[in-house]
Amino acid sequence: MAAEIIEFPERGRKDRLVSSVARLEAIISEVERFAPDDPGSGLDGLLAAMERMGHQLVDLACLLLDDQTRAQAQIAFISLTDKIAETRDTFDRLGGRSST
């Protein structure tokens, strides 16, 4: 397996990187709290947390990845956001929760 060198952002962007990672960790902790509880009733919160996580990952991608890879990440997370919206719509049609 070949090692890959990751170039971290310049010192001026270090605070933004640290802040972005901290926000991502907070979202992950939030998702971990939903998991042991009743996932069905917490679906809306779980989907919202997934959306926020996607946004944070795109933010990190902007800091760490080259232009081509960053564009691929953005496309992937746009697709994720679309799938989350579809999941909400389907769940609403099935009467699983009230709209927020």
pLDDT of residue 100: 46
- Residues 91, 93, 98: CA angle, nearest 5 degrees: 65
pLDDT beyond 70 at 17: yes
Residue 46 burial (CB < 10 Å; 0-12/13-18/19+)?
buried
pLDDT of residue 6: 52
pTM attached to this predicted model: 0.59
